[in-house]
Structures are given as structure tokens and as C-alpha cells.
Copies of this chain bind each other. A is one copy, B any other.
Amino acid sequence: MTLLLSNEDVEKVLTMEVCLEALETLYREVGEERAVATPRMDVHLPTPRSEGTEVPMAHYLKTMSGGTPSFGVAALRLTSDIVAWKKVGDLIRREKIPALPGNRWLGLVLLFSSANGELLAIMNDGVLQRMRVGGTNGLGIKYLARRDCRSAGLFGSGWQAGSQLMALCAVRSVTTIKVYSPTREHRQAFAQEMSGKLRVKVIPVDSPEEAARNVDLIVTATNSRQPFLKGLWLKPGMHLSCMQRDEAEDDAYGKSDVLVIHTHAMEHNFVSRDLVERHGRDGFEVRDHPIPRRIDWSRLPTLGDLAAGRIQGRTSDEQITCFVNNIGLGAQFAAVGARVYERARAQGLGRELPIDWFVESVHP
């Protein structure tokens, strides 16, 4: 039987502790090249939804796969979205439009058994996605930040910011967190909610500078496509945890004594000429590519190197350390998905689908 799991099911069984344990096992395997992760494959096609508007839009099918011998599974994660690149002030922000009936999105994780190839589960990807991002940055903190960290500055107050804090609090005994995001109401509501949930003091602050001042850690959790985190904010002994690669300026990376990225796997972006002709190559293709950097990502050590002990992390309390969650991996969904599956099965969650639906009697 194939188990169909909703986000609500996943949420019931996936704690940050479970997520961190799964990811730590995974990254040891990644460092040893025993786990396997493919580059992300992005397909951008024209969408009828863009008719009558000048806003660049596309149908965006994203896939990533991977597997882990320790968990005995492989996973495929996919999203099928209508995306729009909207101008917000001077910035261009990519929005995934909830274009499905009931304002829904579509993101799935398919989990396969390495014992017989079976489709073990189909899961909504939202909760898994959020937890594995937070957990991955949490491991970066665990391996690189000072053990006596007590305070943090957080950029962003969205859904991802919440799991970043959950992971931070799971690996370090932080007592005070300052949060900055552009909209006052958002950061206030976030601070109140997370203070209650995590039993730490979360304080909304009015400027980016204030969030970064006198803290042991800086954590970013934004969807900015433009660097905002400045090198001069980094002081000796700090750890910088970036949720994505576009958030920090070159100077911040340059100032880091130890700079570790998530993975060398890259995305490959395939764009229909229909889109390029309508919106220009600069207007379209560049939008989903990393901004140009003085830094050569390909030479940097990875979280797998750290977890497998192939490189040293922090060697003194004075060093500035930085972890950049530069891109996701399908193997994350395999490891965390395996734990979700086991626990959901044990608790009798989800809906059983007949295995017959997904198998065939002819050689594929």
C-alpha cells in the first residue's frame, strides 16, 4: 500500500529533533558519497495565466531526487507552480501564485523503497520542505557556532523564519532573539508567537542594523534576491547562518574565517524560448540564476564535509563562521521523509492507496 500523507499528518510526526537526527545521518553519508543527490531540474514554460498582464509569469516545474542507503529509500520532490516576478519597490520578488482551486499550491514528495522499488508514500511537501531547510541551517549552527551562543539576530518573519528559530533553539541555548522584517505588524506578530512557542525572548526591532548589533549569531530567512547583509555587521566570534545564497553581500562572505556551503549540486534551468522572447533573456533567465559573486562557490567546503569530519569547523572563539544553505537536495526529502513515513505508519496516520494504482505488468 502507498501511504498518502497530508501536511497535517507530516506535522504530527515531524519534530525538529527528528528532522535534525535524520539530516545529521544523511550529511555524514553525503560526505562519504554514500548518499546520492541529483542537481535540481527547473523547467520554465509559458502559461496562459499571463494573458493580459505585463508581469512576467511562467509555469515552473521543479524536480529533485536523491537517496540514502542508511534509510533504505530514494525520494523525488516536485513542485508545479505558476510563478510571477513582481516589482516590490526597487526589488523584484518571485511569487508562487496559489493558482489551484481553493488558492492551493502543488508540491509533493514521492518516497521509494530501495528493497523493491515500491512507492511507499506520497506526501505534501510544505511542512517537510520548511523543516529540512531549518534543520539544515541548524546543523550549520551546531557544527560552526560557538557553544556558548546566547543571542541571535533574525532577518525575516515568515514561515521559514519560524523553523530557522526552532532549529537554532534545538542546537544552542539561546535566550534572546531580535527579529527584523520590513513590515512592523509581521515582525511583532512573529515575535509574540515564537516567544510563546519556543520559550525564548523574541524582540521585534525597527532596523536591520539593530537586529545585527551585539548578537552571537545572525540568521537570515528571507526571499530577497538582492544581498542586504553587510560584512561590517559581522564581529569576531559570530556565526552567520544564511537560508539562501543571495542574502549576504560579498564582504560578509569575505570576512568569514570559516565559510561552508550546503552542497556543490546546482540547479539547471531550462526556459522556453517563448518566455525569453516575450520578456528578454536578461528579464527572464537571469532571474532564477545566482547573482554574480567575487567568491568561487565551487571551491568551498560543504555540510557533508563537516558532518563526515573531512574538514575542521570553528577552531577558536574569535573566528567568524558562516554557513550558506545555497540550494536544496532531493536526498533531504529521502532522509526526513523516511522518518516521517515510519512514524506515520506507526501511528496509523494517512490514507492507504492501493499499490495496484502505481505498478504495472509491463517492463517500463
Question: Which residues of A pack against B, CB within 8 Å?
Answer: 4, 6-7, 32-39, 41, 43-49, 59, 61, 63, 65-69, 72, 74, 76, 78-82, 96, 98-108, 110, 112-119, 122, 124-127, 129-130, 159, 268, 270-274, 351, 355, 357-364
Task: Name the residue of chain B whose CB is nearest to the CB of A44.
Answer: B36
Knowing A358-B106, A364-B81, say if A41 contacts B41 (CB, 8 Å).
yes
Which 5 A/B pairs are nearest by Cβ-Cβ distance?
A107-B364, A126-B362, A104-B359, A59-B114, A99-B116
CA distance A103 to B116 in the complex (A): 10
Most chain B Cβ neighbours within 10 Å, of A101, A103, A107, A270? A270
Decide: A268 near B34, CB < 8 A? Known: A106-B117, A129-B364, A355-B101.
Answer: no
Copies of this protein, total: 2
Name which of A43, A82, A129, A271 has the most chain B CB atoms within 10 A of its CB. A43
Known: A79-B364, A81-B117, A126-B361; 12 extra A-B contacts, CB below 8 A, are A36-B272, A39-B41, A41-B63, A48-B72, A59-B113, A59-B117, A61-B65, A63-B63, A96-B363, A101-B355, A105-B363, A106-B112
Given known A117-B80, A360-B125, contact A74–B43 (CB-CB < 8 A):
yes
A273 near B362: Cβ-Cβ < 8 Å: no
CA gap between A48 and B116 in the complex, in Å: 8
Question: Which residues of B sit under 8 angstroms from A119, Cβ to Cβ?
Answer: 80, 106
Q: Which residue of B lies closest to A77 (CB)?
A: B364
- Flag if A363 contacts B45 (CB, 8 Å): no
Contact yes or no, B72 A360, CB < 8 A: no
In the complex, which residues of chain B have a beta carbon less than 8 angstroms from the beta carbon of A126?
Answer: 360-364
A63 to B65, CA, bound (A): 8
Q: Kindly state the separation between the CA atoms of A116 and B96 in the bound complex, as whole angstroms.
A: 11
Would you call B34 and A63 a contact (CB within 8 A)? Answer: no
Knowing A80-B119, A126-B364, A360-B107 are in contact, say whether A74-B59 is a contact too (CB < 8 A). Answer: yes
